[in-house]
Structure 1
Amino acid sequence: MGFSAGDSTIDSGAPLARPLYRDDDDGMQSLRLKHLLTTDIDPAEKGRLIERLDRSLVVTGARWAALLVTGERGLQVLVAGEIPPSIHRQLGELRVRRGEALSFPVHVTNRAASQGYAVEGAVVAGRDAPQGHVVLGFPLAERGSARRIDLVKLVADDLSGLLEGNALAAQMEHIRSHLSLVHRLGQQVTSIHDRGELFEEITRLIHRSLGYEHIQLLLTNEASGRIELIHASGPFAPQLMTAGFSEAIGRGIIGRVAETGRTRMSADVTLDNHFVSHAMLPNTASELALPLRLGARVVGVLDIQSDRRDAFRRDDVILLQTIADQIAPAIEQNRLFAAERQERELADTLADVSRIISSSLDSSHVLEAVLQELRRVVPHRGCRVTLRGDDGMMRVVAARGYPDDELVRRVAFRQEDAPLSEPVMRDHRTLIIGDVTREADWVWQPGTEQVRSWCSAPLVLGDECLGWLCIDWPEPDFYNTEHGRIVRTFADQAVVAIGNARLFARVKELSEVLEQKVADRTAQLRDARDEIERKARELQALLRRLVGVQEEERRRIAYDLHDSVAQSILASTYELQALRRRVGDSPDLDQRLTQCQRLLDSTLREMKQIIYALRPTVLDELGLIPALENYLASLPASVPIATDIRIDGTPFTLGPEADLAVYRIVQEACQNAVRHAGARSFGLVLSFSETWLEVSIRDDGRGFTIDAAENGLGLVGIRERASAVGGEVTIDSSPGLGTNIVIGVPSGATAH
């Protein structure tokens, strides 16, 4: 590039061209010097000088006066009085170098004499060198005198003082403008945090305030060993930024400055063997490059180019070096701030990404979320997730950004068939390949022909590498170590979600297997339960049938006993009574007949009790309550138990089956209380509600443990009888606390 300078150092004695600029009150308006030439003396100063020349005519008596001032554009002539045009022209054609004393040529003196004037001149002195010359034209007729010469020197001294004062004022203004520029630049570089905006503001301020044609800001890239254009200002800046520019450190003026850290200037690039021209800056005539240093480290170069030779003044060079010294720490601070902000944004993004990809445990959703959110942290054209399966095969389980994502997702291969997978899977390394076409171990996979730059990070969960996450770009050398670091950080976040999803999938698979086994077992248990219920129903039906057969058999036996045995006993009693009447007076025989009579009467009573126990006729004839009262009243006198019966509510008829069931339950409970519990009291309470009869049976016997007696035939029979008529039974008993049996039977209950 045409940004270059020679090896010469800045010579303080060499004349440097001064770039003209204007720094207004707002500090932002300035004139850029391109090819326009302007005078060194502004109109106000010129007016004051002519006014002094007019005053010199009065003091000296001269007819005309001329002030010859040497400047950057050459000799400038200011006149007062009636100077002949020919003399004015010849004075303007004089060639006088700046800082040299003037010796008037003979032809100028002769021309003045021919016009009737005698010429007297004097040097207008300066601090370091003459600033110009003053020439006064006196009438030739007047004789010269020493006093006239002294007057001319006095005029020269007066003009010298005026020019010196103006120079000092201009220098002060120049310094003020420089300080203003440094102050504004210091404010800008500390208040702007956006990197691109900072670079633009630096070049803009220098360009507009100092008026140089081309301002370039370049930063070193230590990794690549080059210095790269970051921003530019000037007429060709857009083209330069679009085309881009970088130079090897050590090559050209910019490269030499980046290497040595010393300011370099080329007053005339045509005489500089280190200058390298650039097609976009063909008119570069001089160049100044200043290092941007942080201690001993050069972070960049501020390069300024002008279309004029000797364009850089010494004070401007000092100013620019001051600016460069301010820019370097500002750029580093901005870099650190940008890096910190980037890290913070990356951390926030990764936290957000982690929340998003962890919001679901579905494996396909997690993989798609990983690839979707990856674009937020690192640029890429294509991305893939490759995982190792249970069979050891590597499979692309998710892909995005390829011409045919489905084709890429069908890829499966063995790990040993892809040599680049070894450092990732075994060593857990992050790989960056600048150009896969130059990589000998690269293995092309179907659908990935677009890949040139490639970056891969392992998916490490604990000590196990599940696979890798890779991104690619269709241009070579796109990814650097920073990209690799970001991808690795993202992969470390993503692998947790991927691991959770895989674990969830495994748990889901095992859960489905378990659910199937549970379903199968449940079906088996359901079948077994149905079989048990069927058997239970059969047993209940059999039990009810057995109870029914039992009751029927009792009724038959009771009728048989009543119609046969009881009648025979009764007939025997009648025969025995007739025999006693025929025997007459035989005391011994009468006594024996009386004993027989008593035995038959007792047998008949017992037979009646047996018949009543087998089938209480009172139950059929009078109902449940009279039957229970009669049963309790007919207990043998030999049974030492007190009985009590109470009726609550309005009695109603349950039905034959329910009456018989309640009667048999009370009969069974009473027999248990007498035979097994040793009870001294037996209480019976019948509570009638509108649709429900509750029978409470209580005794004060020795009681029993429910669990131990649960399977006893007595309790089973009680429960079955109640269940047969739709009733419920509650049994409460404890050893030493008696027994309480509560039976609930609905009204209108029938056997079922």
Structure 2
Amino acid sequence: MGFSVGDMAETADQPLARPLYRDDDGTHMLRLQRILAVDLAATDRARLDERLQRALAVTGAGWIAVLLSSERGAEIFVAGEIPPLIHRHLGDLRLQAAGAVTMPTFMVNRAASQGFALEAAPLAGRDGPRGHVLLGFPRSERARPQRAELVRLVADDLVGFLDSNSLSAQIERIKSHLALVHRLGQQVTAIHDRTELFGEITRLIHHSLGYDHIQLLLMDEETRRIELVHASGPFAGQLLAAGFSEAAGRGIIGRVAETGQLRISADVTMDSHFVSHVMLPNTQSELALPLRLGQRVIGVLDIQSDRRDAFRRDDVILLQTIADQIAPAIEQHRLFAAERHERALADTLADVSRIISSSLDPDQVLEAVLKELERVVPHRGCRVTLRGEDGMMRVVAAKGYPDNDKVRAVTFDPAETPLSRPVLEEHRTIILPDVRREPDWVVQAGTEQVRSWCSAPLVLGGECLGWLCIDWPEPGFYGPESGRIVRTFADQAVVAIANARLFTRVRDLSEALEQKVADRTTELRAARDEIERKAVELRALLRRLVGVQEEERRRIAYDLHDSVAQSILASTYELQALRRRVGDRPDLDARLTECQRMLDTTLREMKHIIYALRPTVLDELGLIPALENYLSSLPSNVPLVAEIRVDGTPFALGPDVDLAIYRIVQEASQNAVRHAGARNLNLTLAFRPSRLDVAIRDDGRGFVLDAAELGLGLVGIRERAHAVGGDVAIESRPGGGTTILIGIGGIIGASDGTAAH
């Protein structure tokens, strides 16, 4: 049998303690079991009792007692006929930890009064002193010569048993810890939702280890505050609803976030850094572990208990392992979210670029830009305001207001609106957290609900044409990231505006020319000369339009290469540094390798986007190699077999013609895949004296020519061909495929037979 000196039982007249909280999920019963658990299970007690009985038989003692040291006091196990007086005083023994054991005089006298002589030996275990064994020999019997040696043998046998039992318990605990780490590793790699991931981390730790309160906090690099993102425990719901944040350096959590060092507070009442929380009034001990990536602390894993000295050493090691494991997973989720956001922005920029190149109507272009803006920047209202030739500012496009027509009717003098100057003259992006607190804000008709406001200038060639702005009906909604995205859209919008203005001017010139021809039939020769002059001007304007568009594509490609691609490369280097730090950890190395693979895939996709915006091979190798490269590098999931044939001797075409033909082939190929469902595409380039004929044929579903005449793709093909002095013919019928013929004559350099490409 056995009992613990520290055991306490409530008497019948003693009131039960009122529970602090409900235990619907059994968590606190698990915590109670951890507190009251003894070192020996029932089966181990039976085996110990067998050893004690065998020791009595071997030594001839009348009784035997084993005194084991534990965290809760002395565990005492006895066998044989031990006198009650001696049994009661066993708990008062204070024996030396090791070496020869000297029995206290009072214990020797009591044993002698009961007819027993005492022999004791220390239990020196593998990890240090475990306790003592005490045997009582009848004084009436003659002492054996080897009695002391027999007692030491009994002690050695018991030490072997206790060490074996301790190792088995440690193995089981290590297995449970490894199982927890394994489950957590599976969850952090399988869960893609950020909130769900945080909840699963705290739930697993809380359920597996049984501590009272688990919370996960992340560092805000800009504000230098540590903020609660999830918690598990009886008060987690209220704490999450109320929210919690702490400045770095304040409190135990803030101290760990600042120093990056683990902190254990066995008794928070003795810890000067502890700051109590009204929702966690029963905290007695606290463990805070940093979530580190290299030298950078991204958060804190905090565990609190209503017991003093509640954290076992192996639990601390386990929790530090968990903290080291989840830190890369949390950072990986952040990087993936940022990457998805940047990819969405890049996709939207590509869509806006396509829209700009497909239409020259100013109203359609501005409406498309405002529509695409909704995909990456939340807003309730957005406007484009331009300066007219008379110097007045006019809202030319508006979306999302109660009365958009009322907003579009706004005209004002920029000198009367102080916020116009930093945008128009200094080309600054302006963010107002609350316009009602801004003394320079001027309320315009139809925009009375605006609170947060973000505006970016429309700059073209060093001149500011106006601005693009978005707004929200609540204060403090927009930050620097919103300003960056709006500025990027503004750079796209200004190209659309410039193109539309050029096109409007060309259209106006054409209309004026037609009117002159009708009005001055008598001046036919002068009118014919005027037509030729205007045609040359039209072609020059169209070339300029295409040049502005291609220059913007090149700028966007460089921006993506210098910002997003470099950020991805930096993340790759960071992962490599992490791999060197984790050392011989196959599980972490596998996850880092998977993260590396995903970053490499993202970088390749980004390079495809950059190449689509500006094919460098066209400038470096020429038209034919660029076309061969483009047709051969179509994605593997595109079911299109493309062939190219060159007739005649290739000669230099000039960069404008090269680019026009490349873009036409690119648009035709995309139409064949997206709209025609073609399987095969044949491209023929026929070099004639002073002329180039291009034929693009596909075996797609075809279409009725009149119905598609105004399609954006066909309009873009015609405009690009006309811009370089070419003509276009399109042949198609339903089920019969499509053929696009482009002829460009009068090419300089054809007569000398120069084969530059």
Q: Give the TM-score category using the shorter length.
A: 0.5 to 0.7
Kindly state the Cα deviation for residue 331 of structure 1 after the two structures are TM-superposed.
3.9
Q: How does 1:659-678 map to 2 (within 5 A)?
A: none
Residue in 1 aligned with 2:380?
381
Residue in 1 aligned with 2:428?
429
Residue in 2 aligned with 1:317?
316
Kindly state the Cα deviation for residue 175 of structure 1 after the two structures are TM-superposed.
4.4
Residue in 2 aligned with 1:298?
297
Q: Does the CA contact (< 8 Å) of 1:193 and 1:337 recur in 2?
A: no
Q: Distance in 2 between matches of 1:523 and 1:277?
A: 98
Q: Deviations over 1:113-143 (max 9, x none)?
A: 7776665544323345432233444556446
Residue in 2 aligned with 1:249?
248
Residue in 1 aligned with 2:280?
281
In 2 relative to 1, CA 145–372 (structure 1 residues): closer, same or farther, beyond 3 Å? same
Kindly state the Cα deviation for residue 333 of structure 1 after the two structures are TM-superposed.
4.3
In 2 relative to 1, CA 155–372 (structure 1 residues): closer, same or farther, beyond 3 Å? same
TM-score (norm 2): 0.57
In 2 relative to 1, CA 58–228 (structure 1 residues): closer, same or farther, beyond 3 Å? same
In 2 relative to 1, CA 376–73 (structure 1 residues): closer, same or farther, beyond 3 Å? same
In 2 relative to 1, CA 248–450 (structure 1 residues): closer, same or farther, beyond 3 Å? farther
Residue in 1 aligned with 2:468?
469
Q: Alignment identity in percent?
A: 72
Partner of 2:75: helix, strand, or coil?
A: strand
Q: Distance in 2 between matches of 1:425 and 1:481?
A: 20
In 2 relative to 1, CA 111–395 (structure 1 residues): closer, same or farther, beyond 3 Å? farther
In 2 relative to 1, CA 97–462 (structure 1 residues): closer, same or farther, beyond 3 Å? farther
Kindly state the Cα deviation for residue 362 of structure 1 after the two structures are TM-superposed.
4.4
Which amino acid in structure 1 is aligned with residue 469 of structure 2?
Answer: C
Partner of 1:53: helix, strand, or coil?
A: helix
Which amino acid in structure 1 is aligned with residue 452 of structure 2?
Answer: S
Kindly state the Cα deviation for residue 414 of structure 1 after the two structures are TM-superposed.
1.7
In 2 relative to 1, CA 405–128 (structure 1 residues): closer, same or farther, beyond 3 Å? same
In 2 relative to 1, CA 154–306 (structure 1 residues): closer, same or farther, beyond 3 Å? same
Kindly state the Cα deviation for residue 173 of structure 1 after the two structures are TM-superposed.
4.3
Kindly state the Cα deviation for residue 196 of structure 1 after the two structures are TM-superposed.
4.4
In 2 relative to 1, CA 76–462 (structure 1 residues): closer, same or farther, beyond 3 Å? same
Q: Deviations over 1:431-461 (max 9, x none)?
A: 2233434444333334444444322222233
Residue in 2 aligned with 1:674?
none
Partner of 1:482: helix, strand, or coil?
A: helix
In 2 relative to 1, CA 86–399 (structure 1 residues): closer, same or farther, beyond 3 Å? farther
Q: Deviations over 1:555-581 (max 9, x none)?
A: xxxxxxxxxxxxxxxxxxxxxxxxxxx
Per mean C-alpha deviation after superposition, the further-off stretch among 98-107 and 364-373 is 98-107
Q: Does the CA contact (< 8 Å) of 1:39 and 1:73 recur in 2?
A: no
The number of equivalent residue pairs is 495
Q: Does the CA contact (< 8 Å) of 2:435 and 2:453 recur in 1?
A: yes
Residue in 2 aligned with 1:214?
213
Q: Deviations over 1:492-546 (max 9, x none)?
A: 2233334444544555555556666666668999xxxxxxxxxxxxxxxxxxxxx
Kindly state the Cα deviation for residue 186 of structure 1 after the two structures are TM-superposed.
5.6
Q: Distance in 2 between matches of 1:48 and 1:434?
A: 74
Q: How does 1:522-561 map to 2 (within 5 A)?
A: none
Q: Distance in 2 between matches of 1:299 and 1:120?
A: 60
Q: Distance in 2 between matches of 1:162 and 1:130?
A: 14
Q: Does the CA contact (< 8 Å) of 2:380 and 2:470 recur in 1?
A: yes
Which amino acid in structure 2 is aligned with residue 228 of structure 1?
Answer: E
Which amino acid in structure 2 is aligned with residue 43 of structure 1?
Answer: A
Which amino acid in structure 2 is aligned with residue 378 of structure 1?
Answer: V
Q: Does the CA contact (< 8 Å) of 1:227 and 1:249 recur in 2?
A: yes
Which amino acid in structure 1 is aligned with residue 320 of structure 2?
Answer: Q
In 2 relative to 1, CA 359–86 (structure 1 residues): closer, same or farther, beyond 3 Å? farther
Residue in 1 aligned with 2:586?
none
Q: Does the CA contact (< 8 Å) of 1:428 and 1:460 recur in 2?
A: yes
Q: Does the CA contact (< 8 Å) of 1:383 and 1:471 recur in 2?
A: yes
Q: Deviations over 1:695-737 (max 9, x none)?
A: xxxxxxxxxxxxxxxxxxxxxxxxxxxxxxxxxxxxxxxxxxx
Per mean C-alpha deviation after superposition, the further-off stretch among 340-349 and 492-501 is 492-501
Q: How does 1:159-178 map to 2 (within 5 A)?
A: 159-178=158-177
Q: Distance in 2 between matches of 1:193 and 1:463?
A: 44
Residue in 2 aligned with 1:229?
228
Residue in 2 aligned with 1:58?
57
Q: Deviations over 1:17-62 (max 9, x none)?
A: xxxxxxxxxxxxx955688532222333223222211222222333
Which amino acid in structure 1 is aligned with residue 385 of structure 2?
Answer: T
Kindly state the Cα deviation for residue 267 of structure 1 after the two structures are TM-superposed.
1.5
Residue in 2 aligned with 1:487?
486
In 2 relative to 1, CA 468–151 (structure 1 residues): closer, same or farther, beyond 3 Å? same
Residue in 1 aligned with 2:123?
124
Q: Distance in 2 between matches of 1:34 and 1:407?
A: 71
1:258 is the counterpart of 2:257: yes
Residue in 1 aligned with 2:347?
348
Which amino acid in structure 1 is aligned with residue 491 of structure 2?
Answer: D
Which amino acid in structure 2 is aligned with residue 246 of structure 1?
Answer: S
Kindly state the Cα deviation for residue 232 of structure 1 after the two structures are TM-superposed.
3.4
Q: Does the CA contact (< 8 Å) of 1:67 and 1:78 recur in 2?
A: yes
In 2 relative to 1, CA 440–514 (structure 1 residues): closer, same or farther, beyond 3 Å? same
Per mean C-alpha deviation after superposition, the further-off stretch among 143-152 and 333-342 is 143-152
Q: How does 1:639-718 map to 2 (within 5 A)?
A: none
Q: Deviations over 1:317-337 (max 9, x none)?
A: 344334444444444444334
Q: Distance in 2 between matches of 1:400 and 1:81?
A: 94
Q: Deviations over 1:639-675 (max 9, x none)?
A: xxxxxxxxxxxxxxxxxxxxxxxxxxxxxxxxxxxxx
Q: Deviations over 1:185-213 (max 9, x none)?
A: 56665666654455445444544444433
Per mean C-alpha deviation after superposition, the further-off stretch among 512-521 and 483-492 is 512-521
Listed as ranges, the gaps of 5+ residues in structure 1 are 1-29, 526-752
Q: Distance in 1 between matches of 2:368 and 2:113?
A: 101
1:458 is the counterpart of 2:480: no
Higher-Rg member (1/2): 1
Q: Distance in 1 between matches of 2:522 and 2:51?
A: 125
Q: Distance in 2 between matches of 1:311 and 1:523?
A: 106
Kindly state the Cα deviation for residue 87 of structure 1 after the two structures are TM-superposed.
5.8
Kindly state the Cα deviation for residue 481 of structure 1 after the two structures are TM-superposed.
2.0
Residue in 1 aligned with 2:153?
154
Q: Deviations over 1:149-190 (max 9, x none)?
A: 443333222212211222233334444555555566566656
Q: Distance in 1 between matches of 2:201 and 2:422?
A: 46
Q: How does 1:132-147 map to 2 (within 5 A)?
A: 132-139=131-138, 141-142=140-141, 147=146
Q: Does the CA contact (< 8 Å) of 1:453 and 1:477 recur in 2?
A: yes
Per mean C-alpha deviation after superposition, the further-off stretch among 63-72 and 351-360 is 351-360
Residue in 1 aligned with 2:730?
none
1:71 is the counterpart of 2:66: no
Kindly state the Cα deviation for residue 347 of structure 1 after the two structures are TM-superposed.
0.9
Q: Does the CA contact (< 8 Å) of 1:257 and 1:264 recur in 2?
A: yes
1:414 is the counterpart of 2:406: no
Kindly state the Cα deviation for residue 377 of structure 1 after the two structures are TM-superposed.
0.3
Per mean C-alpha deviation after superposition, the further-off stretch among 394-403 and 371-380 is 394-403
CA RMSD of aligned residues (A): 4.0
